Amino acid sequence: MLKIHASSTDKIGSRPLYQHIVERARENGIEGATVYRGIMGFGSSSRISSSRFWELTEKLPISIELIDQTEKLEAFYTLIEEHLVHMPKGCLVTLQPVTLLLKKPGKKGKKAE
């Protein structure tokens, strides 16, 4: 599993970082991707980010998980690394082995909007 921890406000051009990564992962045949939005967290800057109802733009921690074979994830990381090293708010990337217990494909559907 390749896991990327970043900020919900990070962008590549005008698109959110997480959207860019998930779309690139799909284009490159990665088995699966999920984006999680945190309610509170901090990174290497030690500045705490959390949800505040009075803020127009929430800067929240996000995690992007990509699942596939280690070799495919390592190759995919080389495609996105250039974007990640330039994130102004920083990011953290981990690669860890997982044990696959079940892989049951669902029905193919339309792309989420």
CATH number at residue 6: 3.30.70.120
Residue 81 lies in a domain: yes
Residue 73 lies in a domain: yes
Q: What is the extent of the structural domain holding 14?
A: 2-95
DSSP letter string over 60-110?
-EEEEEEES-HHHHHHHHHHHHHHHTT-TT--EEEE--------------P
Backbone angles phi and psi of 104, in degrees to 5? -115, 105
Other beta carbons less than 10 A from residue 7's beta carbon: 21
Q: Return the top range by mean pLDDT from 6-20, 27-41, 66-80, 95-109.
A: 66-80
Question: Taking Cα atoms as reference points, which of 99, 68, 84 lies closest to residue 2?
Answer: 68
Residue 110 lies in a domain: no
pLDDT tens digits, 53-74: 545 457 788 999 999 999 999 9
Residue 8 lies in a domain: yes
Residue 103 lies in a domain: no
Question: Taking Cα atoms as reference points, which of 47, 59, 80, 83 lies closest to residue 7?
Answer: 59
Span of 27-31, 34-38, 53-57 with lowest mean pLDDT: 53-57
Residue 76 lies in a domain: yes
Residue 62 lies in a domain: yes
Number of domains in the chain: 1
Whole-prediction pTM: 0.81
Residue 108 lies in a domain: no
Give dist(CA 85, CA 83) in Å, integer: 6
Backbone angles phi and psi of 6, in degrees to 5? -150, -165
